[in-house]
Structure 1
Amino acid sequence: MANKFQTNAIRGPINAFIFKMLSGYMDRLFGNSKRELFKNHPETVVEIGSGAGANMRYLKKGTRLIAIEPNIYMHNNLKKSAEKYGIDLEIKSLMGEAIDLPDASYDFVVCTLVLCTVHDPLQCLQQIKRILKPSGIFIFIEHVEARENTMLSFIQSLIHKPWHWFFEGCHTNRNTKQLLESVGFSKLELETYNLYSPFIPIIPQVHGSAIK
């Protein structure tokens, strides 16, 4: 698999703009969960799919953030967010399946609303586990497939193709919960819940933490 991701020249800038505009609203939706998950983070954090930098508001000032973000059109907003929140930022234009960081090197990896978009989520999770130190922590918030034969499941299936195209690979009905359980973390704490919003295809959600 290539290390570089070719961002779509049309959808890439559009998504960068949308993600920046939605940052405040997403904080209202997920902020409480993120503050709880991020509260004991170390001095260095690796984030898979940093987007426009929405999670920087939950990091302590001076944190070193290694941002794995393949959409190059997100990078300018990432830099602006880092300046705003006092974050020491390093950007890597890589896919989550091809992280070029050393084995067992980091204590804390973050991934929020990203595993739905990666081409091979299992490989991405294996990469996350690989770069974590023994007893390192992976925290996550993701949307997952709805229970079969429900209205949510019907909506996810109905809208999947246009949603997948527009949001550069986002799967509305990926079984991310099962993927998280299959990786072999020594401890996995996971909660499934329904956080309702106008973005119906990304209901339900899971959040939690995993220890290598």
Structure 2
Amino acid sequence: MNNDFKNNAIRGPINAFMFKVLSGYMDRLFGKSKRQLFRNHPETVVEIGSGTGANMRYLKPGTTLIAIEPNIHMHANLKKSADKYGINLEIKAIKGELIDLADNSCDFVVSTLVLCTVKSPEQCVKQIKRILKPSGTFIFIEHVKAQKNSILRWIQNIMHKPWHWFFEGCHTNRDTKQVLELAGFSSLKLVSYNLYSPFIPIVSQIRGRAIK
């Protein structure tokens, strides 16, 4: 992730506050899908871009979460969420492109609405693949570039610059679906859909599960 955005003295705290406030609403939007994707997760989970810990509600109490979160302004709320949900938390304030975990060491990696913000999604996914054990699982929910010539694509393009500046380097029109399709996973189950909400630039989304 881009630390220039993540540790900005103004945007960093504002986004940390917003993500915490919106946690309940985001659960209403994404909760059903996340509960299905997180089902039967192992004792240790690696999450890319843990934010303020919104996904901890889908983890079993006692789970160890290795949180890759470069925005230091998120860390206080991450710790509070871990206490609330009974999660054993290890925070790594590093970029998703530079994960310092060993090759073939992780069973389960999570990314939700994060690959839009990393500087190089290809490198981040490469790192996820590297740390996964053979047959390890990567689950994801991401917003993506809308269909060509659609109103959604037009809105994404118009909104990209201000959205990118305010929301921690988020790209409204990134083709994350193609990044995952070209990553070389042995299995990729991916669903494309529109999730309508007031956040129009992120209506076009994908979710799914990849196996190394």
Q: d(CA) in 1 for partners of 2:67 and 2:38?
A: 15
Mapping for residues 120-135 of structure 1, pairs under 5 Å: 120-135=120-135
Counterparts of 1:73 and 1:146, CA distance in 2: 31
Displacement of 1:75 after TM fit? 0.2
Across the aligned residues of Structure 1 and Structure 2, the Cα RMSD in angstroms comes to 1.0
Please report how far the alpha carbon of residue 203 of structure 1 lies from its aligned counterpart in structure 2 after TM superposition. 1.4
Per-residue deviation at 1:38? Answer: 0.1
Alignment-mate amino acid for residue 140 of structure 2: F
2:101 alignment partner AA: L
Letter in 1 for 2:152: L
Distance, in Å, in 1 between the alignment partners of 2:74 and 2:166 is 16
2:13 counterpart residue number? 13
Distance 1:167 1:101 in 2: 27
Deviation (angstroms), 1:4:
8.9
Whether contact under 8 Å (1:5, 1:93) holds in the other structure is: no
* Residue number in structure 1 paired with 2:82: 82
- Cα shift readout 1:86-145 (whole Å, capped 9, x = no counterpart): 000000000100000000001000000000000000000000000000000000000000
1:193-212 matched pairs, under 5 angstroms: 193-212=193-212
Aligned to 2:150: 150
CA distance, structure 1, for counterparts of residue 168 and residue 139 of structure 2: 23
Runs of 5+ consecutive residues of structure 1 not aligned to the other structure = none
Amino acid at match of 1:170: C
Match of residue 181 from structure 1: 181
* SS at structure 2 position matched to 1:134: strand
Determine if contact 1:64/1:88 at 8 Å carries over to the other structure.
Answer: yes
Is structure 2 residue 36 aligned with structure 1 residue 36? yes
SS at match of 1:209: strand
Query: In 1, are the aligned partners of 2:2 and 2:169 still within 8 Å (CA)?
Result: no
CA separation of 1:175/1:54 partners in 2, compared to 1, >3 Å: closer, same or farther?
A: same
Q: Using the alignment, how far apart are the partners of 1:150 and 1:205 within structure 2?
A: 14
The aligned amino acid for 1:87 is I
Q: Deviation of residue 5 (structure 1)?
A: 2.9
Query: How far apart, in 2, do the equivalents of 1:46 and 1:111 lie?
Result: 9
Instruction: Say how many residue pairs are matched.
Output: 210
Amino acid at match of 2:115: L
Report deviation, 1:61.
Answer: 0.2
Unaligned runs of 5+ in 2: none
**What residue in structure 2 maps to residue 62 of structure 1?**
62
CA contact (8 A) 1:4 1:94 kept: no
TM-score (norm 2): 0.98
C-alpha contact (below 8 Å) 1:190/1:207 kept by paired residues: yes
Q: Deviations over 1:59-97 (max 9, x none)?
A: 000000000000000000000000000000000000100
Whole-Å Cα distance in 2 between the matches of residues 65 and 146 of structure 1?
32
Show CA shifts across 1:10-43 (max 9, x none). 1000000000001000000000000000011000
Partner Cα separation in structure 2 for residue 205 and residue 44 of structure 1: 27
- Residue identity over aligned pairs, in percent, reads 74
Q: Secondary structure at the match of 1:46?
A: strand
Q: Matches of 2:168 and 2:207 in 1, distance apart?
A: 22
Separation in structure 1 between the aligned mates of residue 195 and residue 163 of structure 2, nearest angstrom: 19
1:116 equivalent in alignment to 2:116: yes
